[in-house]
Amino acid sequence: MKDLVIVGAGGHAREVHQSILAINRVSPTWNFLGFIDDFARSTEVAGCPVLGGMAWLRGKTCHMVVAIGSPAVRRRVVNELLLQESAEFATLIHPSAQVGNSVILEPGCMVSAGAILTADVKIGRHVIVNTGAVVSHDCQIADFCTIAPMSCLCGAVRLGEGAELGASVTIIPGVSLGKWSMAGAGTTVIRDVPDNETVVGGTNRVINKQNAGWHEKV
Which residue lies nearer to ligand COA by CB, 96 or 168? 168
Beta-carbon contacts of residue 101 (< 8 Å; ≥ 6 apart)? none
Site for ligand COA, residues 174 to 213, rule: CB under 6 A: 182, 184-187, 198, 200-201
Q: How many CA atoms lie within 13 A of 86 on its CB side?
A: 11
Which one among 167, 172, 175, 178 touches ligand COA, defined by CB under 6 A?
167
CB of 182 to ligand COA, least distance (A): 6
- In whole angstroms, how close is the CB of 84 to ligand COA at the nearest point? 29
Give the neighbor-by-neighbor strand order of the sheet with 188-189: 98-99, 116-117, 134-135, 152-153, 170-171, 188-189
Residue among 44, 40, 84, 43 nearest 64 (CA): 84
- DSSP H helical ranges for 48-198: 71-82
Question: Would you count residue 148 as binding ligand COA (CB under 6 A)?
Answer: yes
Among 149, 157, 162, 193, binds ligand COA (CB under 6 A): 149
Binding site for ligand COA (CB under 6 A): 130, 148-149, 166-167, 182, 184-187, 198, 200-201
